[in-house]
Structure 1
């Protein structure tokens, strides 16, 4: 820290002030306060020197001086609130100015109980609180859930005649709302005067926090004055309550919007899984020339990650670099996750390696990204490096590592990692980890071992556990066990269409068409709708979605012509449709036609039609890719000389020169 002689008593050189060099007669209250406020903000050494001067010159008795000293020690920059507390405890009869400083500091250091203790000391000393005392106290009660104390503070506010202060009111409303006492919060809003727009916003936020949408909407409608925060509170609350379309309608009504408004809509769509709609909002932001602030970027990157929009994700990364944004842990983690989920592992690694500060979530994103790309050994290597950096893994870390082992068939390694969770890291395995192990056995064809593992589990298996076993039965053709597990799942999750589809697939492969009909009849009786397969491809920053039988795309005629030419080339090279995956008892020719119209093949044909030779194609499918499409994609990569990266519901497939990175193990 640089120092100058400004504000120092005469004869004191910069950086050399101490209790031995400054005569008491030359040090006024103003000089002491100038030293504290201008020289000690970022230097603990200078602050301690100033503290020594204050003690030697008897200025510690001055509450303005001692209070400012407490304020300096409470600076979050020093990350040591204990020093501030020690100074406060030595101040004789601290007045309200000093106490208010400690109250604020307690919250800044997330020590709300210290704030409550400070107020207790104020009461004992008969130090009269003022309007600045109660907002931090109400906040402290909200943070700690101290309902009784909060009600007492409210009573003190009324007794002292401070009920109409807007800051106190808004803090009190937020406190009551945090307790779920929205009725008490509403009374505070309605009683007396002083209820400004901040108070109304706090009340609306309180209603929405507990899902009282009608009351919030009614209050919003009758507000005498609304500001941008009012609109944002309603939009955020509606989106949080799952009413994203209502939030969007309100957003469209707004006049002036700020970054929070845009962020609320994006986050709302993300929470509902409406990634295309969230991306459309992002495009609208760009058209309106709204420059996204740093805090909205992780949300936008989440959208790109889930849609596989690499071009948009790259744009955001370049935007970060052009604006010299600091890539802190949250933003860096979102970038790693986006690149990994968009199939660009090299860029994910680059961002990861260049991050100065990595949190456990950052390591998890990298491990998870490597896992779904089938890079098991590298995922385990990153896991080992993580421990070398003294970053303690959590449950999510082990899900990523166990998944990596499952996708690579590393059974012994996976079991060793499961054992290490509790023995080495003190983490109790949960249902999700057990599900990974069942998947580990199942993918390796060890169906009997998977079944034994389920029987030995310390907890009752859930649907995810049985689902992993059912999928293994489908892959390895174990019809008897698959049938048993399938019907268990239909009882556990009668509304899950995926379970019916898996069981039907097992019956269809075995040629048991009567049982296929039985399952489909049950679906109809229960009103179950199947999830249609859909595939998206990002083309020049625009997402194109294709579904089987959907002819809404403006280029559908050209796409089908390209699809026919593509399939004809595959047949010439020896491709034979795998009709065992068709779950209908229809003629073979009809089965072949049905396979040709799978959404991923349509997306692939569109990609070949719209891009130059040699361009890498990236496709995202919402369901697991079928065996027939997987075989077709391998041949297309060889015939057309294309790299194709497909993400299905389970993992990534990198097709190149007729081979797939999964080695037909998925």
Structure 2
């Protein structure tokens, strides 16, 4: 029987009465406890996780930061969503390190508690050298920002710690600024530090409305006979994923935005630097007819004037 028990956990309130605590195997290691915790991921039974929790307490492994961090994550996972218990566990972790704090911050955000995520970050900053924020801290924290002022402060911490060049942090920062409608700041960050255009596009403050229009647009042209043409989709993914990717091509997104922002009958103009695919060409012909709009798309090779279900290029 493994009998080692850390003194730091003697006052910890056990999650289950002693008689319900499972018998311990003859030998326990960090990996065996992590494996036990992994078995609870697909379970909605809080009792099951509490039993593993008891084992961790009895063996003193709450001091192991990988074990305690994984335990916190297990309580807050999407099936259990018990953030209160997760934070209770965190309170008793001796000298939590960067890994544990990062887990707690992410759990708070995943459970729609951005305030608690920020509170955890503040504790992290003052906790000592063992818990310094790193490149894994800030992408999550930037998503937890509730306003531009808070976002600017977090961005300042990123720069101060010399982490501004990290791609994930940079993308999260661009997304944060764009999400609050600060497109100039997002563009400045993109230009100065580099970034991905997808991040800027999908962080548009009206993205929900654009997606709604895109969905409506596709449904309406499907009623007119539209079928996705995946013949030019080269990614090694399933047919449904290919169709979803086609729906979000840039020209379709741009047209959806144009339909939202312009009056009926107004010409919609789109410019792109790549050649339009066959699927988009077929879809836009139908969109022009269904919405009674003239749509002009300039791609790398042609000017396409769509009107009443036909294109000036005669389907090139």
TM-score by length of 1: 0.31
Match of 1:32 in 2: 33
Match of 2:298 in 1: none
Match of 2:277 in 1: 255
- Alignment of 1:130 with 2:134, yes or no, is yes
Q: Is the 8 A contact 1:205 1:233 kept in 2?
A: no
Separation (CA, whole Å) in 2 of partners of 1:239 and 1:90:
55
Separation (CA, whole Å) in 1 of partners of 2:249 and 2:138:
24
Q: What are the equivalent positions in structure 2 for 1:605-620 lying under 5 Å apart?
A: none
Q: Is the 8 A contact 1:201 1:230 kept in 2?
A: no
SS of residue in 2 equivalent to 1:130: coil
Q: What are the equivalent positions in structure 2 for 1:217-296 lying under 5 Å apart?
A: 231=250, 234-242=254-262, 246=268, 254-255=276-277, 276-277=290-291
SS of residue in 1 equivalent to 2:39: helix
Higher relative contact order (CA 8 A, sep 6+): 2
Q: Report the CA distance between 1:79 and its aligned residue.
A: 3.2
Q: Report the CA distance between 1:19 and its aligned residue.
A: 4.2
Relative to structure 1, the CA distance from residue 20 to residue 46 in structure 2 (aligned partners, 3 Å threshold; closer, same or farther) is closer
SS of residue in 1 equivalent to 2:95: coil
Q: Is the 8 A contact 2:33 2:67 kept in 1?
A: yes
Q: Report the CA distance between 1:275 and its aligned residue.
A: 10
- Alignment of 1:81 with 2:101, yes or no, is no
* Aligned residue among 51, 55, 60 for 2:57: 55
Q: What are the equivalent positions in structure 2 for 1:325-336 lying under 5 Å apart?
A: none
Q: Is the 8 A contact 2:41 2:77 kept in 1?
A: no
Q: Deviations over 1:68-90 (max 9, x none)?
A: 00111011211322111111122
Match of 1:354 in 2: none
Q: Report the CA distance between 1:255 and its aligned residue.
A: 2.3
Q: Report the CA distance between 1:257 and its aligned residue.
A: 6.1
Separation (CA, whole Å) in 2 of partners of 1:133 and 1:64:
16
Q: Deviations over 1:191-241 (max 9, x none)?
A: 135x2xxx322334556749xxxxxxxxxxxxxxxx976726545544443
Q: Is the 8 A contact 2:178 2:203 kept in 1?
A: yes
Q: Report the CA distance between 1:94 and its aligned residue.
A: 1.6
Separation (CA, whole Å) in 1 of partners of 2:101 and 2:94:
12
- Alignment of 1:174 with 2:180, yes or no, is no
Separation (CA, whole Å) in 2 of partners of 1:85 and 1:79:
12
Match of 2:199 in 1: 202
Match of 1:117 in 2: 119
Match of 2:221 in 1: none
Q: Report the CA distance between 1:178 and its aligned residue.
A: 2.3
SS of residue in 1 equivalent to 2:154: helix
Q: Report the CA distance between 1:53 and its aligned residue.
A: 0.4
Separation (CA, whole Å) in 2 of partners of 1:54 and 1:191:
48
Q: Is the 8 A contact 1:201 1:233 kept in 2?
A: no
Q: Is the 8 A contact 1:208 1:237 kept in 2?
A: no
Match of 1:412 in 2: none
Relative to structure 1, the CA distance from residue 61 to residue 180 in structure 2 (aligned partners, 3 Å threshold; closer, same or farther) is same
Q: Is the 8 A contact 2:118 2:141 kept in 1?
A: yes
Separation (CA, whole Å) in 2 of partners of 1:74 and 1:82:
8
SS of residue in 2 equivalent to 1:78: coil
Q: Report the CA distance between 1:247 and its aligned residue.
A: 7.2
Q: What are the equivalent positions in structure 2 for 1:494-533 lying under 5 Å apart?
A: none
Q: Deviations over 1:424-463 (max 9, x none)?
A: xxxxxxxxxxxxxxxxxxxxxxxxxxxxxxxxxxxxxxxx
Relative to structure 1, the CA distance from residue 52 to residue 275 in structure 2 (aligned partners, 3 Å threshold; closer, same or farther) is farther
Q: Report the CA distance between 1:119 and its aligned residue.
A: 0.5
- Alignment of 1:104 with 2:124, yes or no, is no
Separation (CA, whole Å) in 2 of partners of 1:49 and 1:74:
16
Separation (CA, whole Å) in 1 of partners of 2:54 and 2:188:
50
Separation (CA, whole Å) in 2 of partners of 1:184 and 1:175:
10
Separation (CA, whole Å) in 2 of partners of 1:108 and 1:26:
34
> 5+ unaligned residues in a row in structure 2: which ranges?
3-18, 208-244, 293-316
Separation (CA, whole Å) in 2 of partners of 1:247 and 1:108:
39
> 5+ unaligned residues in a row in structure 1: which ranges?
1-8, 10-16, 211-226, 279-666
Q: Deviations over 1:346-386 (max 9, x none)?
A: xxxxxxxxxxxxxxxxxxxxxxxxxxxxxxxxxxxxxxxxx
Separation (CA, whole Å) in 2 of partners of 1:184 and 1:162:
18
Separation (CA, whole Å) in 2 of partners of 1:122 and 1:137:
12
Relative to structure 1, the CA distance from residue 128 to residue 19 in structure 2 (aligned partners, 3 Å threshold; closer, same or farther) is same
Separation (CA, whole Å) in 1 of partners of 2:106 and 2:278:
33
Separation (CA, whole Å) in 2 of partners of 1:46 and 1:110:
25
Relative to structure 1, the CA distance from residue 56 to residue 207 in structure 2 (aligned partners, 3 Å threshold; closer, same or farther) is closer
Separation (CA, whole Å) in 1 of partners of 2:171 and 2:185:
13
SS of residue in 1 equivalent to 2:125: helix
Separation (CA, whole Å) in 2 of partners of 1:277 and 1:44:
53
Give me the CA root mean square deviation: 3.5
Q: Deviations over 1:520-557 (max 9, x none)?
A: xxxxxxxxxxxxxxxxxxxxxxxxxxxxxxxxxxxxxx
Q: What are the equivalent positions in structure 2 for 1:339-350 lying under 5 Å apart?
A: none
* Aligned residue among 139, 142, 146 for 2:143: 139
Q: Is the 8 A contact 1:177 1:206 kept in 2?
A: yes
Count of residue pairs brought into register by the alignment: 226
Q: Is the 8 A contact 2:142 2:151 kept in 1?
A: yes
Q: Report the CA distance between 1:134 and its aligned residue.
A: 0.9
Match of 1:155 in 2: 156
